[in-house]
Amino acid sequence: MPMTRISLRRGKSAAYHAALMDGIYRAMRETFAVPEDDRFMMIHEHEAEGFAYGATYLGIARSDDLVIIQITCNDTRDAAQKTALYRRIADRLDRDPGLRPEDVFINLVEVKAENWSFGHGHAQYAVPHVPEPTA
């Protein structure tokens, strides 16, 4: 159910992009109990003039390799799970593709379960499930 948007400056390879997506997905599986194949991810590349960031905000020395990760997910996890996710993503991306933890910026956007439709115009997570009207 998470939807992940990954933003970075233009110029990284397809293998780098794949490592970002794989590392984030694995971290979500390990810490957020995301099911197998629940993978909806997008890479957004930006020219330098379209990618601004606070280079030292909160005392963190960021570089032009900064990756901004925004994960939209159900509002069901506690602070400990979120902290575990942030740490696991930073660790995984440090290992592959070699992204410094200082350059991993993560933002969670939490929504109600009924705010998702995965296809067919149905709200698959809505409780109770409202059947489609018959003709």
As a whole number of angstroms, the distance between CA 39 and CA 41 comes to 6
Mean pLDDT computed over every residue of the chain: 93
Residue of 2, 35, 97, 101 marked active site: 2
In the chain, DSSP assigns E strands to 3-9, 40-46, 67-74, 104-111
126 within a domain of the structure (yes/no): no
For the chain, the domain total comes to: 1
| pLDDT computed for residue 106 by the predictor | 98
| pLDDT computed for residue 120 by the predictor | 87
Over residues 45-96, the pLDDT tens digits come to: 999 999 999 999 999 999 999 999 999 999 999 999 999 999 999 999 999 9
33 within a domain of the structure (yes/no): yes
124 within a domain of the structure (yes/no): no
30 within a domain of the structure (yes/no): yes
133 within a domain of the structure (yes/no): no
| pLDDT computed for residue 133 by the predictor | 65
Mean pLDDT of 5-24: 98
Q: Tell me if residue 2 is catalytic.
A: yes
Structure tokens given for 25 = 């997905």
17 within a domain of the structure (yes/no): yes
DSSP class of residue 132 equals P
Over residues 107-118, the pLDDT tens digits come to: 999 998 888 888
Residue 24 belongs to domain with CATH number: 3.30.429.10
Evaluate if residue 123 carries a pLDDT over 70: yes
What is the residue range of 10's domain?
A: 3-115
132 within a domain of the structure (yes/no): no
* 39-43, 115-119, 130-134: least confident range: 130-134
Higher pLDDT, 128 or 53: 53
Task: For residue 92, give the nearest of 5, 1, 30 by alpha carbon.
Answer: 30
120 within a domain of the structure (yes/no): no
Higher pLDDT, 135 or 77: 77
